[in-house]
Chain A
């Protein structure tokens, strides 16, 4: 018992010496952003990886244990994590990160959301009342979220506030330069019609001017059916798409089927940090996404 108490004490003091802020990020992109801002002042735990469907995560024991110790929870929001996060929050016994507290941060709250449904009816699939939650694929959103996240981190860890602000400033200026470069590189993608597996790329399309002419899922969250895919195939005659996009976490079968039938390339996009070997950080994520798209229209 004495040893146990000692080891807990050691663990607590040890951690506070290494990291001042313990961040629990639900998805890799916002975990990566917290790392950009926090550097070695934070310890970032990322709850999911790029190969997991962020809609289908379970409130597994390790997530509860991690949430218990976090000072700041960074979520994508807009109901993306509704299937597991509320449970993790409640069972974590951690008051600091509950919804409504300053330790709870939802990225989607700081950006303009697209695809906000006019009617909420499950007949239209698994819609998110607050709009499409995959907001990170517009780099301008990353900047907005970063600004808000920096402010929040500074608020929670005042001792390191200047460090966070400085790191974000550096990141933001590099990011703005990168945005200009990406927009230039991606100019040929403007107006290119594409098919998508799921509405994961709405913000990317909106930013680059890609035209989403169809989705392989008949309704959001419903897996592609052969009937629906055949329908897309016949539409290809009248409104041809030039490639079919899917995220690293989605099955390749339906994309490959469409690609095989139509001769358009099936393009895998990293979707988030870690989705491809090249997408090691946020810069890599966009570099690789644009390169893969450009390769798709060649």
Chain B
């Protein structure tokens, strides 16, 4: 720094030599002399230190390379050797399945969600080879009181902020505060990133609840409290914008979504741990769009305005001999949801294809009552039988339940259906950072279609170790 300053000074001095007065030159010379002196002093002190270090080193001969540490100053080098911690997740797949236009779940409101695909081939129905997700994760402690993390998801020419939040470190009393865009604490799988999933895709239940992203993301704040008890008891509440399915983005003050959750957990002996939770999510929607099928099989646009409330229950059990999951472990997880929606549904013929929602002239619509009560669950078990191999089974079922479309029942197909899916997977990990997975699924989530799917997927993590949640 000083050197470049001196260089600049010299340069300036030589360029402006004619203009410079003697006084200027003298000042520059004095400055240079001073710098010289300070450098000489520093070199001398460094030489002295070197001699000291050498004599110390020879006093205690050590064969192996040694790092000398001086207590707390160098102690805090854990994850901040790289500041911020950077990691990159590479995820892609080969998928073999039926070509179903407008793939969805029969009997459930079509969650447009947002789509990583290119429109013509939405991500959820992409066949063949594809790069699903490239996730760039940046995280670091901001200061002694806060920590921040951002996840940028990159897909084919677009990058989006998947998460960007800060979290408290120093509040104490079991209090945790989080703000920004984050995965909501509801349910069990919701907080987990796709690269942590035990199967190549999310359970149908998550797709039905939150759309293709299969996760509810809040733009808002989260408040958590951990009880000072031997048994793990955690309570949390959230308030957010509520822009994503089942809500919609609206221009308003206040919050558009509220969530609450409670978790309990503990150990059973040395080998087993468990966690159970209940959660509640309330969102509001205004003109939430979804493509329906009219009674004649023609496409119709539905717009829902109203309230949506979801109750979730989750349970996880992990077993490993002596609590050492490295060589063998088993994980069982199950979740259940029940959702009620109440409001109005407007069905229209925006494409002008002459559907049943257009009784008079093109552009007309029918608004009716909309009231549903739907539910679903999944259960899965994954067994790691050697350090490298795991195998898992998942079974899931949804219930289209009670659906009251009012006057629109005469215009739209109101199918009563129980979507089902059975999945088996086996995966291999070279290390904890690289994994390939082969998955077979029999998907009966669409009425009248049995879709046998084969997925070959890879998940690779580069960079900083991300600590994973239980």
* Interface residue B100 (Cβ < 8 Å from any Cβ of A): no
Q: Which of A77, A95, A249 is the one whose CB lies under 8 Å from B324?
A: A249
- Which of A8, A58, A61 sits near B232, CB closer than 8 Å? A61
> A91 interface residue, CB < 8 Å from B?
yes
Q: Which residues of A contact B430 (CB under 8 A)?
A: 222
The B250-291 residues at the A interface (CB cut-off 8 A) are 263-267, 270, 273-275
Which residues 437-470 in B have Cβ within 8 Å of A in the complex? 462, 465, 467-470
Contacts A58-B468, A59-B467, A99-B76; A126 near B69 (Cβ below 8 A): no
At the interface, is chain B mostly helix, strand, loop or mixed? loop
* Contact present for B470 and A58 (CB under 8 Å): yes
One of B174, B324, B431 near A51 (C-beta < 8 A): B324
Contacts A87-B469, A112-B69 given: A79-B322 contact, CB under 8 Å? no
| Number of B positions contacting A (CB below 8 A) | 69
Q: Is the CB of A86 within 8 A of B76?
A: no
Select which of A8, A53, A77, A98 is within 8 A of B169 by beta carbon: A98
Closest 5 CB pairs of A and B: A61-B265, A109-B75, A61-B232, A95-B172, A93-B174
In contact, B232 and A109 (Cβ under 8 angstroms):
no
Chain B positions 80-118 with a Cβ under 8 Å from a chain A Cβ: 81
Residue of A nearest to B388 (CB): A223
Contact call B78/A82, Cβ cutoff below 8 A: yes
Contacts of B231 in A (CB 8 A): 65
- Per the bound structure, the CA–CA distance linking A130 and B468 in Å amounts to 21
Q: Is A172 an interface residue (CB 8 A)?
A: no
Interface presence of A111 (CB below 8 A): yes
Candidates B170, B171, B176, B267; contact of A60 at CB < 8 Å: B267
**A-B pairs with beta carbons under 8 Å apart, 27 shown:** A51-B324, A53-B324, A53-B326, A58-B470, A60-B275, A61-B264, A61-B275, A62-B232, A64-B226, A64-B234, A68-B174, A68-B226, A69-B228, A79-B78, A83-B467, A83-B468, A90-B169, A101-B144, A110-B69, A111-B69, A112-B68, A112-B69, A113-B66, A114-B64, A116-B65, A116-B66, A221-B431
**Interfacial chain B residues near A125, Cβ < 8 Å:** 431
Which residues on A are within 8 Å of B, measured CB to CB?
A: 8, 11-12, 48-49, 51-53, 55-56, 58-62, 64-66, 68-69, 77, 79, 82-87, 89-96, 98-101, 106, 108-116, 120, 122, 125-126, 129-131, 148, 202, 206, 221-223, 249, 251
Task: Establish whether residues A11 and B226, one from each chain, have CB atoms under 8 Å apart when the complex forms.
Answer: no
Q: A51, A60, A66, A222: which contacts B273 (Cβ < 8 A)?
A: A60
In this complex, which of B64, B147, B265 has the most chain A Cβ atoms within 10 angstroms of its Cβ?
B64
**Nearest CB of A to B68, in Å:** 6
A82 touches B465 (CB 8 A): yes
- Contact in complex: A49, B270 (CB < 8 Å): yes
**Taking the nearest CB of chain A, how far is it from the CB of B9, in angstroms?**
39
Asked if B275 contacts A65 (CB within 8 A), the reply is: no
Q: Which partner residue on chain B sits nearest A105 by CB separation?
A: B75
List CB contacts (< 8 Å) of B163-209 with chain A.
167, 169-176
Q: A52-B322, A92-B226, A95-B169 are in contact. Are A62 and B77 (CB under 8 A)?
A: no
